[in-house]
Structure 1
């Protein structure tokens, strides 16, 4: 099992306990949970944004930082709430994108409250095969008046 260091994990746990974000000492839910995976020559990012108007979602890239911002409006101020667990307000996620991605061709789709971003791998970063020539093939080209490419 690989453990990754998260310098903010303890801070998040303490803040959650102090602010009452968790009911039984467990982990507080993230307002914009996401999944990220690679599928062939592109990366796919899914963000769960249930109950959010797709028109309030803003996706942008500034340099190598991808920002996803969404807003969930409060419902029914005239109602008497019995339990309210879905947070309202503005939610934001920022991801620093690595080299080798084609940031000009990121696409976004919305379906059933899930925002899906497709981030293609840049052509220069895709694996490619390099042809191998033998010494005999190079000397044959030199004899025919061609220069050997090195």
Structure 2
């Protein structure tokens, strides 16, 4: 059985299955946003503020974990980064702008946000660095000396069982 092919205008073909085109988490997020909009339009006020989780990438090197969190429009003074043991917690708030007139539609995230991450192994929490640039919070969490990988050299032994130098 052949996999379905999506055809676009101009005869360009896409060779991946249709199911790959959708991200269920994105669809769920859109559903929550639509439901919030329905509640707002029905009740006439804003829904109660619930902490949301910003998008992030986490990478690991031999020396540290690197976390990049998307926080567009957020000032560094409105963000709090805490580390306790193996857990990293980033909290803050995007304040809603004061507007004149009636806001008919809003899809921008506002309110309290929280990002929690539990990292494996021992961490050096005293040397954590964080910086904000172009709406991206970059956090470097160094690994403790005991947690870093160590290269072990293998020695050769001769046929008689003696080690050769």
Interval containing the TM-score (normalised by the shorter chain): 0.5 to 0.7
Cα displacement (A) at 1:99: 1.4
Map 1:63-102; keep pairs closer than 5 Å.
Answer: 63-102=85-124
The residue matched to 2:146 in structure 1 has which SS? Answer: helix
Deviation per CA, 1:81-122: give whole Å up to 9, x if none: 242111211101111122133222111011011100011122
* 1:20 has 2:35 as partner: yes
Q: For residues 33 and 97 of structure 1, what CA distance do their matches in structure 2 show?
A: 17
In structure 2, the residue matched to 1:54 is: 76
Unaligned stretches of 5+ residues in structure 2: 1-23, 39-51
The residue matched to 1:32 in structure 2 has which SS? Answer: coil
1:123 aligned to which of 124, 138, 145: 145
Q: After TM superposition, what 4+ stretches of structure 1 lie above 6 angstroms from structure 2?
A: none
The residue matched to 2:103 in structure 1 has which SS? Answer: coil
Question: TM-score, length-normalised on structure 2?
Answer: 0.60
The residue matched to 1:20 in structure 2 has which SS? Answer: helix
1:103 aligned to which of 125, 138, 147: 125
The residue matched to 2:141 in structure 1 has which SS? Answer: strand
| More displaced 10-residue stretch of structure 1: 67-76 or 98-107 | 98-107
Q: How many equivalent pairs are there?
A: 124
